[in-house]
Structure 1
């Protein structure tokens, strides 16, 4: 998989290369993304500090009451769609801060913050904003590779229900089974991931083989989510991926990662783009709002109770 430079490639060339990588792998690797490295380093340190807190302290911020969308989700609660065993991870979710009284507040819960770490809110609020900006740049390239105007995604993602996830995979025993996070596809439009250089991330190629994803330090791994797959009528495919355990001698170490799940506005209706529908590729899915689709998927992965 080639490493693409967001800063040092012509916009049209970058869009074409991104589209090629997405069509082939459902993934891309991006360098020169512009997210402040000092801010990233501070974020890693705070994530480690939070996950090192006692379980009874972390559980004060439990996200069960909001479908796992804001705050803390305990170890082992989430399960990949169709999997038989829960994932070996715990995580924290940060969402978008909406203006007071915004109508989208009915479907986007407010953030919660751990008062035990005073720097947590300002650091991750800034990081969320920088991920959001880079994500919008990448979607502009996606629009161009689909033959749309460069600003096509601006309104669909305005006040989108995006989430910054801080992930911790605790150490496991040398005898532990091989999977930390079961094979799955992401729900959202695109995912921007920091931390994949820690090892373990694998994607499933078109032939059914599992390939390791090994970006250089500081690079972003980008992947297509199911919402973009649905919007493009599967022209840009969402690819199964998983996190496997390292070799036995490395299983005593934690793994951390920081994915940003870029989402549409909850009230945006996901319907196949006309240019992605043809006799050879007929429409596959009916229209659905981004909120309803997200809710369906959160039920499937165990974060929202089925009604």
Structure 2
């Protein structure tokens, strides 16, 4: 049975419950987490103003840099031909930010980094020894000193009718690249995860929750013990086509970290970015 567990951060048994859900489904949902809800609400409001303003184009990404604003329909899922129906802004530690969002965004980046390290400590402590011994170094240590973790602010514009091309969705079925992703509750539903039979399930993520999922890097490093589960963001139902915002934090190790004898994190990241049209 595909059952994504909702785990209270304050529960003494949270680390084991959290790691078990990730092993069984690739997802877990965290509630009662330590990030202030007011900070999250403020970030959504500030970034809503950014995406509504033409000044956003002044922050447009300048390849090969991965930082900044990506206009509508910039990215496609691996293997997909249609571009996703979204625009977004990618934030790294040294990214230049619009003044109106800078203070809140940098504080939220730091909050999510600290929480991500804690969650990797939980995973490390609850990974079977025969799996953990294959890690090049403990999972939290892979993240310490990394400048590669990326905070992405996503805007899925309102949809009044049919998508602009057949098969286009807000986010086509895909897997994440990184170790783990921390996804602050979106402003509207739509996130779904796929089980091993191919069936889709809504991911619970009410206000105040954070959905956490495994990325391909941790799947590789764990020899598949932690699955990188396919997920998507579906188009809204007809008549309910309002905009949607979400804010995932992609926790990436240092580039030199070995995920397997054949691949470092840096090499693997570049390989995957090429596949989704961002490198």
Match of 1:156 among 134, 142, 148: 142
TM-score (norm. length: structure 1): 0.83
| Aligned-pair CA distance for 1:242 | 0.4
CA contact (8 A) 1:76 1:88 kept: yes
Aligned to 2:265: 290
Any conservation in 2 of the 1:6–1:32 contact (CA below 8 Å)? yes
Given that 1:64 and 1:73 are in contact with CA atoms closer than 8 Å, whether structure 2 keeps it comes out as no
Residue 163 of structure 1: how far off its partner (Å): 0.6
Secondary structure of 2:142's aligned partner: coil
Match of 1:137 among 114, 118, 124: 118
The residue that corresponds to 1:266 in the other structure is 255
Which of 113, 117, 123 is equivalent to 2:97?
113
Structure number with larger C-alpha Rg = 1
- In the TM superposition, residue 211 of structure 1 has moved relative to its aligned partner by 0.7
Whole-angstrom distance in 2 between the partners of 1:257 and 1:205: 23
Distance 1:129 1:42 in 2: 15
Q: CA deviation at 1:154?
A: 3.1
Residue 215 of structure 1 aligns to a residue whose secondary structure is: coil
Q: Determine if contact 1:191/1:261 at 8 Å carries over to the other structure.
A: yes
Which residue of structure 1 aligns with residue 58 of structure 2? 60
| Helix, strand or coil at the partner of 1:30 | strand
Structure 2 unaligned runs (5+)?
none
| Structure 1 runs not aligned, ≥5 long | 97-109, 272-285
CA distance in structure 2 between the aligned counterparts of 1:195 and 1:72, rounded to whole angstroms: 21
Alignment check: 8 A CA contact 1:189 1:227 kept: yes
Residue in structure 1 matched with residue 25 of structure 2 by the alignment: 25
Question: How many Å separate the matches in 1 of 2:202 and 2:141?
Answer: 35
The match for 2:82 among 81, 85, 98 is 85
- Tell me the matched-pair count: 266
